[in-house]
């Protein structure tokens, strides 16, 4: 692998490549093809169906739509066991409504039940009046759910909140059972003899996942930034390293937009891992170019590139195996992790060697002109010695 040394001569124009790629990625994500959220983050139903013959997707889709489901995606691929059909549906309108009413009921119930219990324990008529007033609101929510489930129950007829809650639970279970068996029967009648599995996410759970994922990203950014600054203890290399990592994630997101890889928990984990992967080549480059003295800076950068390329290739080969495995097994978690990692690693090659390397080299020249010491010793170098 003998590439010409790109850092001899007018290397600064190299940055055009990553910058334009970053702009293209941003435009893609923001305006052209926004990243599709998987059901982990937006709620819905994932269906995986294994059948011996290819199913009639058109019929399946229209039958599902007739029953109030929105089919976001449906496709069939062959795998060693037969035909694997994967579909992503939105939950039915009825189920969404039932979910909403149920969570509203439980939010209201807490206060009502406490008032009821206190009025009984303290034998207090003022509390009792307060309870009865609040109970009317609770009854309203319960009645809406009863109506949705097709039951004749009337909330006001239940003497205690406990009994009312039991009826509310029963009504909710009835709705969800009916919707589930309806969905299962559509698949069973359209594709007989298939083994089908359903993964359903309620919107409350996907909201929770979003907030958790968001929290993880914020903590990750803060912690990583602190650690990088502690290690390099100079502003420019730290920012170069961090923006390299950010560029990797951005490129990977761009690839997700183009190849329609959904953002799920798995691809989210892969994006976080990219931060770590992106840094290894950046650190190699920064350490070798900034801290060492043998040869010219451009030579050291070029040497680093050769090592870095081998490193990235080895990681890519591992993920390519995972991707191949994903195609054979049709396991989405493998596919999402591998595809995002490979996209990010390709992006990393560009970000590191056309962006970070340029910044670091320019910074070196600038510092050399000013005659300053380049960098302080990293804190880690005091702690770790091989």
Q: Interaction with other proteins in 124-153: which residues (CB under 8 A)?
A: none
Yes or no: say if 361 and 10 are a contact pair by the CB < 8 Å rule.
no
Task: Indicate which single residue of 113, 145, 191, 364 sits in contact with other proteins (rule: CB under 8 A).
Answer: 113
Minimum separation from the CB atom of position 30 to other proteins (A):
25
Interface region with other proteins, contact rule CB under 8 A, candidates 28-36, 89-97, 255-263, 321-329: 321-329
Q: Which two tokens stand for residue 113?
A: 């039940």
Q: Which two tokens stand for residue 67?
A: 């029953």
The CA distance from 326 to 334, in Å, is 5
Task: Indicate which single residue of 3, 129, 154, 163 sits in contact with other proteins (rule: CB under 8 A).
Answer: 163
The CA distance from 345 to 232, in Å, is 23
Task: List the end-to-end C-alpha distance of the chain, in Å, as a whole number.
Answer: 30
Within positions 238 to 297, which residues make up the interface with other proteins, using CB under 8 A? Answer: 265-266, 268-269, 272-273, 275-277, 279-280, 283-284, 287, 292-294
Within positions 323 to 352, which residues make up the interface with other proteins, using CB under 8 A? Answer: 324-325, 328-329, 331, 333-334, 337-338, 341
Provide the Cα torsion 282, 285, 287, 293; round to 10°. -170
Interface region with other proteins, contact rule CB under 8 A, candidates 24-32, 61-69, 132-140, 154-162: 154-162
Closer CB to other proteins, 284 or 362, in the complex: 284
Within positions 173 to 192, which residues make up the interface with other proteins, using CB under 8 A? Answer: 173, 177, 180, 184
Task: Indicate which single residue of 5, 144, 224, 296 sits in contact with other proteins (rule: CB under 8 A).
Answer: 224
The DSSP H or E segment spanning 269 is helix 265-286
The residues facing 195 across adjacent strands are 50
Minimum separation from the CB atom of position 362 to other proteins (A):
22
Minimum separation from the CB atom of position 162 to other proteins (A):
5
Interface region with other proteins, contact rule CB under 8 A, candidates 5-13, 322-330, 346-354, 367-375: 322-330
Task: Indicate which single residue of 220, 239, 362, 375 sits in contact with other proteins (rule: CB under 8 A).
Answer: 220
Yes or no: say if 363 and 297 are a contact pair by the CB < 8 Å rule.
no
Q: What does the DSSP assignment read for 299-325?
A: HHHHHHHHHHHHHHHHHHHHHHHHHHH
Within positions 58 to 77, which residues make up the interface with other proteins, using CB under 8 A? Answer: none
Within positions 38 to 57, which residues make up the interface with other proteins, using CB under 8 A? Answer: 39-40, 46, 50
Minimum separation from the CB atom of position 375 to other proteins (A):
12
Minimum separation from the CB atom of position 23 to other proteins (A):
25
Total chain residues near other proteins (CB under 8 A): 100
Task: Indicate which single residue of 27, 30, 59, 205 sits in contact with other proteins (rule: CB under 8 A).
Answer: 205
Q: In angstroms, what is the C-alpha Rg of the chain?
A: 29
Task: Find all residues with CB under 8 Å of 96, minimum gap 6, and list them.
Answer: 203
- Give me the helices (H) in 191-202, please: none
The residues facing 77 across adjacent strands are 84
Closer CB to other proteins, 13 or 199, in the complex: 199
Q: Which two tokens stand for residue 271?
A: 């994006």
Q: Cα–Cα distances in Å, from 151 out to 39, 140, 168?
A: 31, 14, 10
The CA distance from 284 to 3, in Å, is 19
Burial 32-65 (b: 16+ CB within 10 A, else e): eeebbbbbbbbbbbbbbbbbeeebebeebbebbe
Minimum separation from the CB atom of position 346 to other proteins (A):
14
Minimum separation from the CB atom of position 111 to other proteins (A):
11
Minimum separation from the CB atom of position 291 to other proteins (A):
8
Within positions 1 to 30, which residues make up the interface with other proteins, using CB under 8 A? Answer: 1
Minimum separation from the CB atom of position 24 to other proteins (A):
25
């Amino acid at each position: 692998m003998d590439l010409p040394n790109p850092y001899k001569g007018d290397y600064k124009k190299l940055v055009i490549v990553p910058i334009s790629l970053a702009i293209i990625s941003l435009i893609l994500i923001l305006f052209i093809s926004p990243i599709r959220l998987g059901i982990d983050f937006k709620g819905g139903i994932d269906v995986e169906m294994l059948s011996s013959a290819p199913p009639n997707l058109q019929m399946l889709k229209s039958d599902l739509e007739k029953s109030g489901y929105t089919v976001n995606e449906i496709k069939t691929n062959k795998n060693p066991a037969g035909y694997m059909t994967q579909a992503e549906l939105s939950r039915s309108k009825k189920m969404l409504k039932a979910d909403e009413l149920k969570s509203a009921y439980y939010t209201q119930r807490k206060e009502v039940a406490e008032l009821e219990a206190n009025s009984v324990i303290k034998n207090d008529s003022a509390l009792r009046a307060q309870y009865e007033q609040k109970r009317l609101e609770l009854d309203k929510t319960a009645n809406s759910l009863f109506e949705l489930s097709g039951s004749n129950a009337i909330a006001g007829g239940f003497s205690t909140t406990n009994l009312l809650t039991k009826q509310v639970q029963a009504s909710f279970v009835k709705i969800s059972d009916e919707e589930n068996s309806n969905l299962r029967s559509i698949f069973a009648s359209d594709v007989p003899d298939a083994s089908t599995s359903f993964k359903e996410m309620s919107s409350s759970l996907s909201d929770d996942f979003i907030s958790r994922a968001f929290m993880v990203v914020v903590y990750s950014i803060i912690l990583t930034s602190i650690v990088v600054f502690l290690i390099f203890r100079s502003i420019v290399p730290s920012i170069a390293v961090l923006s390299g990592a950010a560029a990797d994630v951005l490129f990977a997101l761009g690839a997700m937009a183009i190849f329609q890889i959904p953002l799920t928990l798995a691809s989210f984990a892969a994006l976080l891992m990219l931060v770590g992967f992106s840094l290894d080549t950046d650190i190699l480059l920064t350490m070798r170019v900034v801290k060492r003295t043998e040869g010219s800076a451009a030579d050291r950068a070029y040497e680093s590139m050769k090592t870095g390329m081998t490193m990235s290739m080895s990681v890519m080969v591992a993920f390519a195996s995972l991707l191949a495995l994903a195609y054979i097994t049709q396991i989405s978690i493998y596919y999402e992790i591998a595809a995002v990692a490979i996209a990010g690693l390709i992006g990393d090659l560009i970000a590191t060697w056309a962006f970070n390397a340029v910044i670091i080299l320019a910074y070196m020249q600038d510092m050399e002109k000013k005659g300053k010491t380049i960098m302080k010793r990293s804190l880690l170098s005091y702690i770790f010695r091989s």
